[in-house]
């Protein structure tokens, strides 16, 4: 077992850390307060190779591997979780197109993502009536003379209003997961519009929107992989995406722990720094231990994926543990801050809000437990 990073992984980690420290951390509170989308920052991240970390170089990617991607996500999330979620979905979309696309689809879309020509990509699976039970989706795609016509509504789509390309899942056959296909839908497609722009608890520098399709016509070449085989693509994409959300949780939790350590050394109570109190020390120690365990689970899942080994269970375990641990770590860091934790001037308030979604999107904790239990029972 090798716990050492290779030179490429160290380079990507350092590149992401430098960018996050210099460009994202100082402006994260403002993005949160004003709800501004980080267009300029995303462009710079593409130039640094962060929009296709695990994408082949021939398509404009960095080809640095899955561990490098997870490390970069941790660094970006530590500074700005809202920018990180946009990065995560964009990397996921680029990887999905590389894995399932025709060479024409890859050549058309992937270099635009990795170069920053598109500010980001989006992934449209959830619908108003179904999130966890995604195979119940109702958005329909029917054949037309020119290709396909989409009708329906997608819910809670990260960056759906900014993305150059969106992977959209729609029903092309009967009920259940066997009747679903995936399509590449480009920004500006007539008949596709933005519905509700959600006002959220956190991640305010990222957008979460409804996408409405009303007789939206897309060409025949928009079909990704085979007709009625799209649900499998979503499941493969989500396995990888869960490594990204696990890494995001680790990054947010690291930031919260850093804040708790700093504050406990500065704040005086009963004639000594808070850090001298055993109750505070135990909170810090528990948080540091859980954070380390979360980091290792995420990197293990990333390593399995990078080696081409099965990683569905590892990704679900990493996402489940890291997201729940990160929420506990943020809550403890908040407690260490006393009343000041509740005040917007201190970053911990934003970290608590940003962290909360990590147990929900890309499969709730309950869904991760279903995936883990199924893999145990199927293998028994």
Ligand X SMILES: Cc1cc2nc3c(=O)[nH]c(=O)nc-3n(C[C@H](O)[C@H](O)[C@H](O)COP(=O)(O)OP(=O)(O)OC[C@H]3O[C@@H](n4cnc5c(N)ncnc54)[C@H](O)[C@@H]3O)c2cc1C
337 DSSP assignment: T
Quick one: which of 131, 152, 230, 347 contacts ligand X (CB under 6 A)? 131
Which of 67, 357 has the CB closer to ligand X? 357
By CB under 6 A, residue 287 contacts ligand X: no
Distance CA 121, CA 181 (A): 18
Distance CA 121, CA 125 (A): 13
Contact 137, 180 (CB under 8 A): yes
By CB under 6 A, residue 316 contacts ligand X: no
| CB 274 to ligand X: min, Å | 33
Distance CA 274, CA 297 (A): 31
Distance CA 187, CA 117 (A): 12
| CB 328 to ligand X: min, Å | 18
Quick one: which of 146, 285, 366, 374 contacts ligand X (CB under 6 A)? 366
Contact 267, 341 (CB under 8 A): no
Which of 146, 374 has the CB closer to ligand X? 374
> Residue 118's closest CA among 166, 70, 66?
166
Site map 184..203 versus ligand X, x via CB under 6 A: ----------------x--x
Which of 158, 287 has the CB closer to ligand X? 158
Q: Which of residues 325-364 bind ligand X (CB under 6 A)?
A: 357, 360-364
Other beta carbons less than 10 A from residue 360's beta carbon: 16
> Residue 148's closest CA among 204, 90, 212, 220?
220
Distance CA 305, CA 96 (A): 14
Site map 87..126 versus ligand X, x via CB under 6 A: --x---------------------------------xxxx
- Total residues contacting ligand X by CB under 6 A comes to 21
Site map 73..92 versus ligand X, x via CB under 6 A: ----------------x---
Which of 216, 283 has the CB closer to ligand X? 216
- What are the CA-CA distances from residue 97 to residues 44, 50, 92, 212, 308 (Å)? 22, 17, 9, 22, 18
Helix (H) or strand (E) holding 49, with range, is none
Which of 129, 262 has the CB closer to ligand X? 129
Radius of gyration, CA atoms only, the chain? 21
Q: Parallel, antiparallel, or unpaired for β 121-124 and 165-171?
A: parallel
Quick one: which of 139, 208, 287, 312 contacts ligand X (CB under 6 A)? 208
Which of 259, 362 has the CB closer to ligand X? 362
Residue 167: strand, helix, or coil? strand
Name the closest residue to ligand X (Cβ): 131
Catalytic residue among 292, 345, 362, 366: 362
Task: Give the dihedral of Cα atoms 166, 246, 3, 237; nearest 10 deg.
Answer: -30
Which of 9, 354 has the CB closer to ligand X? 354
Which of 148, 156 has the CB closer to ligand X? 156
Please list the alpha-helical segments (H only) found in 125-229.
Answer: none
| CB 363 to ligand X: min, Å | 6
Quote the strand ranges of the chain, DSSP E.
121-124, 140-143, 147-158, 165-171, 180-186, 192-197, 208-219, 223-224, 268-269, 272-273
Quick one: which of 6, 107, 132, 281 contacts ligand X (CB under 6 A)? 132
| CB 354 to ligand X: min, Å | 10
**Is 23 among the catalytic positions?**
no
Site map 152..171 versus ligand X, x via CB under 6 A: ----xxx-------------
Contact set with ligand X (CB under 6 A): 89, 123-126, 131-132, 156-158, 200, 203, 208, 357, 360-364, 366-367
Active site residues: 362
């Amino acid at each position: 077992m090798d716990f050492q990073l290779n030179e490429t992984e160290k380079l990507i980690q350092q590149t992401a850390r430098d960018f996050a420290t210099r460009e994202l951390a100082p402006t994260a509170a403002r993005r949160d307060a004003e709800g501004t989308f980080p267009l300029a920052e995303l462009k710079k991240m593409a130039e640094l190779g962060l929009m296709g970390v695990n994408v082949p170089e021939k398509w404009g990617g960095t080809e640095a591997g899955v561990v490098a991607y997870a490390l970069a996500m941790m660094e970006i999330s530590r500074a700005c979780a809202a920018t990180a979620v946009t990065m995560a979905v964009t990397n996921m979309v680029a990887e999905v197109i590389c894995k399932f696309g025709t060479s024409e689809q890859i050549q058309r879309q992937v270099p635009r993502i990795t170069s920053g020509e598109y500010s980001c990509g989006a992934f449209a699976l959830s619908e108003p009536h179904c999130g966890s039970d995604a195979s119940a989706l109702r958005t329909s795609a029917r054949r037309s003379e020119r290709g396909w016509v989409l009708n329906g509504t997608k819910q809670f789509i990260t960056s759906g209003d900014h993305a150059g390309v969106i992977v959209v899942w729609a029903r092309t056959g009967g009920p259940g997961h066997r009747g679903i296909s995936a399509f590449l839908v480009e920004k500006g497609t007539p008949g596709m519009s933005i519905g509700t722009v959600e006002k959220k608890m956190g991640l305010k520098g990222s957008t979460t929107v409804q996408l409405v399709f009303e007789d939206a016509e897309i060409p025949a070449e928009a079909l990704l992989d085979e007709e009625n085989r799209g649900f499998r693509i979503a499941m493969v994409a989500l396995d990888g995406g869960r490594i990204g959300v696990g890494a995001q949780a680790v990054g947010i939790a690291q930031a919260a722990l850093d804040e708790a350590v700093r504050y406990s050394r500065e704040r005086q109570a009963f004639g000594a720094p808070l850090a001298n109190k055993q109750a505070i020390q135990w909170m810090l120690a528990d948080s540091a231990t859980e954070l380390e365990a979360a980091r290792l689970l995420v990197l293990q899942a990333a390593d399995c994926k990078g080696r081409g080994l099965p990683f569905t269970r590892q990704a679900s375990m990493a996402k489940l543990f890291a997201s729940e641990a990160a929420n506990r770590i943020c809550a403890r860091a908040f407690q260490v801050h006393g009343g000041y934790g509740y005040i917007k001037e201190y970053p911990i308030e934003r970290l608590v809000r940003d962290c909360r979604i990590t147990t929900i999107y890309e499969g709730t904790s309950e869904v991760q437990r279903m995936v883990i239990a199924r893999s145990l029972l199927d293998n028994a």
